[in-house]
Amino acid sequence: MAATDRVLYGTALSVYCCKLRLALALKGLALPETPPPDGYTSAAYRRFVPQGTVPALIEGDFVLTESDAIIEYLDEIGAGRPLMPQGARMRARARALSRQIDTRLEPAARALFPFVGARLPVPEAARQALTRPLDMVARGADGGRYLSGTATPGLPDCGYWAVRAVLEALEGALGLGLDLPETEPPPTPESAEVLETYRRTLAGWVTQKMEGA
């Protein structure tokens, strides 16, 4: 299938869409991206994406949600440069760290959103909730240049770059004093540009929240 027959639904602010855009940039794939009609909670969007989440990949009547599943699917059909490492154990480690970032780190970061512009103190427990998942990321490099010990960037790197951008924005807004693990940055101009664009989007969101306070 030609890349042009695929459509991606996404929103500028979604951390999972940023993760997928980073993966696509590393893969060298340019897929058209469009916002869900009337937003992702709309009945119009749920008519063809019943999960009502972004990102979603559409290929004819094939509809796929979940950023990891989309990235692994594109890998398996040979679309662009592969992001999953060679070897079952290496792939399993990449998946495990990616799940930890998505299911532990990102929700702990998201829990802080209501405090931006709210002029309320962030409870210590909410700040502490980030410590363990950040520690897992710090240990995830495991001797390699990229997360889960690989020599080239993969699934967990894309997830962490995106969530780290969110955490940086939260740090600027809330002064959390977080110790964010340093990992290798996106290595190509295209992937660096995706992350920079996302940082600008987040900065605009923070400004809007602070001004609305």
Is 52 an interacting residue with respect to ligand GSH (CB under 6 A)? Answer: yes
Region binding ligand GSH by CB under 6 A among candidate stretches 47-55, 133-141, 181-189, 205-213: 47-55
For 107, residues 6+ apart whose C-beta sits below 8 A from its C-beta are: none
CB-based contacts of 24: which residues, under 8 Å, 6+ apart?
Answer: 30, 31, 74, 80
Rule CB under 6 A: choose which of 8, 9, 15, 194 binds ligand GSH: 15
Which of 23, 24, 40, 108 is close enough to bind ligand GSH by CB under 6 A?
40
CB under 8 Å to 135, separation ≥6 — which residues? none
Nearest to residue 137, comparing CAs of 107, 96, 77?
96
Q: Using CB under 6 A, which residues numbered 93 to 132 contact ligand GSH?
A: 102
Does position 67 interact with ligand GSH (CB under 6 A)? The reply is yes
Pairing mode of beta strands 33-34, 6-9:
parallel
Residues 35 and 81: beta-carbon distance below 8 Å = no
Q: Does 45 bind ligand GSH (CB under 6 A)?
A: no
Q: How far is the CB of 40 from ligand GSH (least distance, A)?
A: 5
Among 22, 53, 150, 194, binds ligand GSH (CB under 6 A): 53
Residues that bind ligand GSH (CB under 6 A): 14-16, 40, 52-55, 66-68, 102
